Chain A
Amino acid sequence: MSATPRRIAIFGATSRIATETARLWLARGVALVVVARNPERLRMLTDDLGIRAGGLAEVDAVTADLADLDALPALWQSMTDRFPDLDGVLLAHGSLPDQARCEATPETMLHEIRVNALSAMSLLTVIANDFEARRRGIIAVIGSVAGDRGHRSNYVYGAAKGMLAIFLQGLRSRLHGSGVTVITLKPGFVITPMTQDFDRDGLLWVRPERVARGIVRAFERRRDVVYLPWFWRPILWATRLIPEPVFKRLSL
């Protein structure tokens, strides 16, 4: 089993958490392939990463719309053709939907499920087979604490992330012994553009840098399921213990 991967592909790389993680990996000499939809923002990211790397690590960019599920197998094929030594992936793409709009129309709801679950699961189906055949690699996916239980405030997002978590559980079990590690990352409240409309005071809110450090550590230690930061594990454990007749009354 190898240590930290030599070349990691980051999907949804322009997000705050992904960007911070990319910077940490570069500082450790890991080569990166950054994937995102918006070419202009992707260029800003690669400029930044290139200067920070100072020629010590490689950074390459791939523009792709990850909501276009049919194109994902070809996308991965083209990436491994270009970078045969890719042995790590971080899936960081997704969106935090407007729950009210998801409740109003099925199209919006389905779109969010597609972006937050189906896209990652499609991509993982291709990547998992590839890594399994090569008997190496680390697959890490950013889920959410919202996926641990359905809340009235964001259950569409929660359902997508929950589906993803169960998919990863099965995948992890299937790939056990194959040399491939599958990591489920579950961040809690993070101060990013995705959460700008929340009241973000309080001890539970953390900066994306802290989550990024947790992701790098999870890769180094090849963990299975990681709560970021750690304190969400006992919180979610307690949350799951609340009986449903009580839980349904809570305005969470």
Chain B
Amino acid sequence: MRLIEWRDRTAPLSAADAPFLALGNGRSHGDVCVNDGGTLLLTRGMDRLIAFDRGTGIVDCEAGILLGDLLHWCLPQGWMLPVVPGTRFITVGGAVANDVHGRNHRVAGSFGRHVLEMDLLRSTGEHLRIGPEEHADLFAATIGGLGLTGLITRVRLRMIPVSSDLMLTESIRFGHLDAVWDINDRLGAEWPYTIARIDCIARGRRLGRGVLVAGRHAPPQPAGTPVPRWRGRSRSLPFDMPFSLVNRHSVRAFNAVYYRAAPLPGRRLQHVHGHLFPLDRLRDWNRIYGRRGFYPYHCVLPHAHARDGVRTLLKRTAASAQGSFLAAMKTFGDLPAPGILSFPRPGVTLALDFANRGPRTLRLLADLDDIVSAAGGALDPGQDARMSVTMFRRGFPQWERFATLVDPAFSSTFWRRMNP
């Protein structure tokens, strides 16, 4: 793979280096950000703010800017990104290309819903302004388009006003899967941000036990209130562990402690970062899985089959004893995602991680595929390194329309895998 640092949003593409693929901060755990034999356009250096309207909260920025960088600048001014995923170490371009979602999907939808327009560099040399009105087809293909429609250079976003950088949060423990749905419904109206952390090792009566974590932006605190400060400190794993530290014993111990340590119902104040990005405190956390790494398994099941489907998935995972730390379960609301290939859709999404134990793990994932397919669900391409072509086409029935909008000089290892 040839690398080109893409610093200048007005620079032209040179056809000799095709096929191209943009690489932002490389946090997709799959091959959507890999381009074997081709060229990666590294966008991290293209990270400037272009314009900002402090009255409306509409910001124009280059595609390589990190969400964390935006937050660092906009939160003190009373503006917040409308949608953030579980890490702030991704670029805006990556957030668009994967049409990422957050804990507030029920009320905010996916990231792409808040994109007003973009500039897209095509290999034809055209630098197109695309939006819901201009080149609407290309706009819909670029949101969630896995970087295949060209190079996103500029993104115009609408942010939401917040009155502080604090969140009011609440954690509620549930002893088994059935209990979570009611809590979820009850909290849903009042708390825009919710996520259920599930112990995917627990079996039997405790199947699907976990902690529901809810949050909402806090009002300004009266003077003198002790408020949590964000120190921005994080630890990092400097190198791959010699072997995976994730095994049934460590996972069982961690999950049990997490479950028991969850505070009794009660509210507390947390900084936005501390609440929404807990994993960002351990940089390069993926290294705990050792050199062989891990397989993420992020699926969505439509509402009609969600409860049974999640139960079956958790049963199979628990029986395998391969499950990893806390699975994440979130509800997707009915707000439609604007991308042709967008992953978020009405239903329930479950995110599991599995240490790579070779064929044993792949067999388990194939079983999970059957459950997801039977429920009419889909897998997230942004977090995939192994789904079958059939699985992809079933999950994304508009893939043929999407394919017509792909830039002929752009490709990825994922895209070639899906189009053998």
Instruction: Show the binding face of A for B, using Cβ within 8 Å.
Output: 16, 40-41, 44-45, 47-48, 51-52, 54, 192-193, 196-197, 200, 203
Contact = CB atoms under 8 A, between A and B. Distances in A.
Contacts of B189: none
Contacts of B129: none
B74 to A, nearest CB: 10
Contact of B239 (A44, A200, A203): A203
A54 B74 CA distance: 10
Contact of B49 (A41, A48, A192, A197): A48
Interface in B30-83: 42, 45, 48-52, 54, 73, 77
Contact of B238 (A51, A52, A196, A203): A203
A52 B51 contact: no
A149 to B, nearest CB: 27
A40 B45 CA distance: 16
Contact of B50 (A16, A47, A200, A203): A47
B29 interface: no
Interface of B: 3-5, 7-10, 42, 45, 48-52, 54, 73, 77, 238-239
A41 B46 CA distance: 11
Given A16-B45, A51-B52, A41 B8 contact: yes
A193 B50 contact: no
B3 A196 contact: yes
A48 B61 CA distance: 9
Given A40-B10, A196-B42, A51 B49 contact: yes
Given A41-B8, A51-B49, A193-B45, 18 more contacts: A16-B7, A16-B45, A44-B48, A44-B50, A47-B48, A47-B51, A48-B48, A48-B49, A51-B52, A51-B73, A52-B73, A54-B77, A192-B45, A193-B5, A196-B3, A196-B4, A203-B238, A203-B239
Nearest to B52: A51
Contacts of B54: 54
Nearest to B238: A203
Q: Say whether chain A's binding surface is mostly helix, strand, loop, or mixed.
A: helix
B77 A51 contact: no
B48 A45 contact: yes
A51 B51 contact: yes
A52 B73 CA distance: 6
A197 B5 CA distance: 9
A210 to B, nearest CB: 12
A75 to B, nearest CB: 24
Contacts of A40: 10
A47 B49 CA distance: 7
A51 B48 CA distance: 10
A45 B9 CA distance: 12
A48 B48 CA distance: 5
Contacts of A51: 49-52, 73
Contacts of B8: 41
Nearest to A198: B3
B58 to A, nearest CB: 12
Nearest to B65: A48
Which 3 residue pairs across A and B have the least CB separation, nearest first? A48-B48, A193-B5, A51-B49
A200 B4 CA distance: 12
Contacts of B10: 40
Nearest to A50: B49
Nearest to A48: B48
Contacts of A44: 9, 48, 50
A48 B9 CA distance: 13
24 contacts: A16-B45, A40-B10, A41-B8, A45-B48, A47-B48, A47-B50, A47-B51, A48-B50, A51-B49, A51-B52, A51-B73, A52-B73, A54-B54, A192-B5, A192-B45, A193-B5, A193-B7, A193-B45, A196-B4, A196-B5, A196-B42, A197-B3, A203-B238, A203-B239
A45 B7 CA distance: 11
Contacts of A197: 3
The interface centre, meaning the residue of A41, A45, A48, A203 with most chain B CB atoms within 10 A of its CB, is A48
Contacts of B73: 51-52
Contacts of B45: 16, 192-193
Contacts of A192: 5, 45
B143 to A, nearest CB: 24
B179 to A, nearest CB: 44
B364 to A, nearest CB: 31
B212 to A, nearest CB: 36
